[in-house]
């Protein structure tokens, strides 16, 4: 009886685990670059052959740390550039021409795509999904449009909707 207890405790512990470095995000296990401990069979039969993980050697751990620090530097640089873009956009205004009737109602409407195209033609890289309109612009006038460039960075741009010049 004692023999069975010893066997159960020796096989049920961490002794049969393998330390892996995840190469891809694996649901319910971890994200890319995480070091995880899994059962040897799971590692040997699934994670490693599928290219989802590799053995966590000291060299691999150092390489991941270098890669993660480089990614953090790139992310900080992108965030800085995005803040600069937001600052420049806050000082800029866009003028869009549209056909309108005598009362100032547009025959069509101005949507986020139109504003995005006008900003791109002026040298500002703003996608239409960054522009937060409460609805299409359907009248002539000046509008303050919110732009969310990043989850932490919001700005506003002035949009002037003017009547199209008669030809």
User: Taking the chain (167 residues) in consecutive chunks of 10 residues, what is each chunk's mean pLDDT?
Assistant: 38 70 89 89 92 88 86 92 89 91 90 92 90 91 92 90 79
Task: For residues 76 and 163, give the distance between their C-alpha atoms in angstroms, rounded to a whole number.
Answer: 42
Q: What is the pLDDT of residue 2?
A: 39
CB 115 within 8 A of CB 96: yes
Instruction: Please give the pLDDT value at position 143.
Output: 93
pTM of the model: 0.62
pLDDT of res. 17: 86
Q: Cβ(79)–Cβ(57) under 8 Å?
A: no
pLDDT at position 64: 81
Q: Could you tell me the domains of the chain?
A: 2-83 (3.40.5.10), 85-163 (3.10.430.100)
29 DSSP 8-state letter: T
């Amino acid at each position: 009886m004692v023999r069975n207890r010893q066997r159960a405790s020796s096989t049920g512990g961490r002794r049969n685990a393998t330390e892996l470095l995840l190469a891809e995000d694996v649901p319910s296990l971890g994200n890319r670059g995480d070091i995880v401990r899994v059962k040897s069979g799971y590692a040997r039969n699934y994670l490693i052959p599928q290219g989802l993980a590799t053995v966590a050697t000291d060299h691999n751990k150092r390489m991941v740390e270098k890669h993660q620090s480089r990614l953090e530097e790139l992310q900080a640089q992108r965030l800085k550039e995005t803040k600069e873009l937001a600052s420049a956009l806050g000082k800029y205004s866009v003028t869009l021409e549209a056909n309108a009737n005598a009362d100032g109602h547009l025959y069509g409407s101005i949507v986020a795509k139109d504003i995005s195209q006008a900003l791109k033609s002026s040298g500002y890289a703003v996608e239409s999904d960054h522009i937060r309109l409460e609805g299409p612009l359907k009248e002539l006038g000046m509008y303050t449009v919110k732009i969310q460039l990043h989850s932490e960075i919001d700005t506003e741009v002035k949009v002037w909707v003017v009547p199209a010049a008669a030809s």
